[in-house]
Amino acid sequence: MTKAPDKLTKAEAKAELARLAAEIAGHDRRYHGEDAPTISDAAYDALKRRNDAIETRFPDLIRPDSPSHRVGAKPSEKFAKVVHARPMLSLDNAFSDEDIEDFVARVRRFLGSKEDDEIVFTAEPKIDGLSASLRYENGVFVQGATRGDGQEGEDITANLRTIKDVPLRLHGEVPKVFEVRGEVYMTHRDFFALNKRQEKDGKPLFVNPRNTAAGAVRQLDPAMTAARPLHFFSYTWGETSAMPAKTQWDMLQAFKDWGLKVSPLIRRCKTTAEILKFYDDIQSKRADLGYDIDGVVYKVDRLDLQDRLGFISRSPRWAIAHKFPAEQAQTVLLDIDIQVGRTGKLAPVAKLRPVTVGGVVVQNATLHNEDEIARKDVRIGDTVVVQRAGDVIPQIVRVIEEKRPKGAKPYQFPHNCPVCHSHAVREVDEKTGKEDVDRRCTGGLICAAQAVERLRHFVSRDAFDIDGFGGVYIETLHDKGLLKEPADIFRLAKKPEALDRALAERRAELSAERRAREGKEDVAKKSKKDDDSKLVENLIAAIDARRRIGMDRFINALGIRHVGETNARLIARNYPDIDAFVAAMEGETAVAELSEIGGIGEVVAQAVKDFFDEKHNRKLVDHLLKEVDVVPLAAPKIAGSPVAGKTVVFTGTLEKMTRQEAKARAESLGAKVSGSVSKKTDLVVAGPGAGSKLAEAAKHGVEVIDEDSWLKMIGG
């Protein structure tokens, strides 16, 4: 006879909780993963009630894989940061059959394979959800994180534990450390049921399953996540102490054996024709799948070939996402709004009569630039076709001219900034004589729009990522004269009273405006002094938490034209520290030096040089460096790599691998690959036909080896 929880000894309770965790996990797997339950709902609930009762009596015995984690834990004040052991990278996109044919050809060309060499690909639906990483140690789920910027995400462990597709313990032979990566999503059925409950309760309706799932996972209270019906598909991995298979396909079979849910639609394809047929088949089934997908992903199946192909910038060479065509709808263009970005670009935005496109209500769409407006002859009052490009960014496809109202006039693009009224010009490239497609404000930092937008960018997630420091605070503090340049953000810690006063004044202004709109009299309000003090305290704490910043984030935060997070990371990898980088930008060879970095062209190099040539920009950087500590970008953690952190130059003809593959392999081992030899070079790999670089190597005393020695050094 089963003992009551209050009659159990501690040893008996421990054994019983272990049995219940395993039994309930098995039922979860059969119900959610296999759609084959073996007990009734009532019997399942009885098992969970017994588990809860024992845990209540013995709270110190609660297990990491306890079923009670499914209903949520203590709410968090904010998410902690998680640095990914292996970056969570994004995929390049393809939009046509020709793009896929080019992708397959690039793979073959990179590997140097012959026409009749078989290269197998896996093909799988691209789930439209929120990417997440699950870390298992000794088979137990210990940490979950969002993708974030690919390098650093947010700790959402407690929330992911509430999702029944996420096993709290894997079964079978599992590596000691294994990170599973996949997608959190919501089914159409669950989404519509949730919106019915929202409507019944008089609450706002959710827009689409993807946003609803993403919002649920990022709730500070795990109980809120537990209340949403979420699911998880596993499809790849991150850090692992051992590899259980040699192909993508067999890795996914291992996932299933461990109790993870994997898409049942994944297939192996041996030819481009098979790949494209799979795409057509999945597209035809898209509406009946019961959850959102926005394309198909193809991956080279053999893991050794994936290793050879490696990565370029933020995406793997061995995989690509074949996106579905954008959905379209018709609506009326009500106005064209000109917005000024942080680089001074005048960006035209179409203000539309609201219309639903692909399940999302669209009111704004990009018009790109004035040439695009002229080419499409877009006029205010026109009926236009709108689509969400890649199912994300709304854009105007074309005008339906037969519906054009009489008297509609061609749009005249402004030649002055709508914010500061400075001239807005289209720059001309001195070398090519071509005019830039974008018109830019010449006001620079005197333009309030540019100053505010640059500051917004500075605190954004991919830059300094200052928690809670949103656009409202930036606008308010800029208007109050407390925030003119990035360094001012860190100086705010020394001015808590001024910060408190500025925020209080702004709130009072907004309150007065609201009362004026509503026609209400000015009545006394309860003091918010305590709330303001707490707000100021939190803001200062968030600012101080980012006084130590990675070099790539620092460079990205500067807002240099053409330099986003990818180029910032490429640049940061090639300089030992921020002082060396800034000093190099003062030299006459700065453009040439930057152009040697793989992925950084002359246009980007010149933009970086131009930025540092401006005295006010250099002053801005100097002020900022007095406030923050910039950490050099660490080389990839490559255990046992003989070239990690070294600068390598390849010259001459390589006979056993392509130059592209050699470079990718070196970078994957933590080396920096340069296009020229200097005193900073550690190693030159020379093949037949090597020329002046050998002389430079001799001049600087740099070690030179041949291709065979290089392959021996890196292990083949």
What are the two backbone dihedrals, phi and then psi, of residue 293, each rounded to the nearest 5 degrees? -130, 150
Query: Token pair of 30, please?
Result: 């059969």
Of 430, 423, 412, the closest CA to residue 344 belongs to: 423
| Whether the Cβ atoms of residue 262 and residue 256 lie closer than 8 Å to each other | yes
Alpha helices in 85-187 (DSSP H): 97-111, 157-160
Which residue shows structure tokens 């793989």? 598
What are the two backbone dihedrals, phi and then psi, of residue 46, each rounded to the nearest 5 degrees? -65, -40
Neighbours of 132 (CB within 10 A): 25
Torsion of CA 121, 124, 130, 131, to 10 degrees: -30
CA distance 701 to 698: 5
CA distance 511 to 714: 66
What are the two backbone dihedrals, phi and then psi, of residue 76, each rounded to the nearest 5 degrees? -100, 145
Rg of the chain taking only CA atoms, in angstroms: 29
Cα 206 to chain centroid, rounded: 23
| Whether the Cβ atoms of residue 166 and residue 233 lie closer than 8 Å to each other | no
- Amino acid, res. 538: N
CA distance 275 to 266: 11
Query: Token pair of 365, please?
Result: 């769409």
Long-range contacts of 698-704 (CB under 8 A, 24+ apart): 702/677
Cα 362 to chain centroid, rounded: 23
Does residue 321 sit in helix, strand or coil?
Answer: strand
Of 77, 146, 80, 81, the closest CA to residue 553 belongs to: 81
Cα 149 to chain centroid, rounded: 4
Of 214, 237, 236, 233, the closest CA to residue 225 belongs to: 214
What are the two backbone dihedrals, phi and then psi, of residue 397, each rounded to the nearest 5 degrees? -85, -50
- Amino acid, res. 639: A
Please, what is the Cα angle at 69 between 66 and 71, to 5 degrees? 135
Bridge partners for 394 per DSSP: 388
Catalytic residue, chosen from 126, 164, 345, 663, is 126
126 is catalytic: yes
Alpha helices in 120-258 (DSSP H): 157-160, 188-200, 209-217, 222-226, 248-258
Query: Token pair of 171, please?
Result: 């079964």
Please, what is the Cα angle at 686 between 685 and 691, to 5 degrees? 135
- Those residues whose C-beta lies under 8 Å from the C-beta of residue 114, and which sit 6 or more positions away, are none
To 10 degrees, what angle do helices 659-668 and 97-111 make?
Answer: 80
Neighbours of 465 (CB within 10 A): 19
- Which positions are annotated as active-site residues? 126
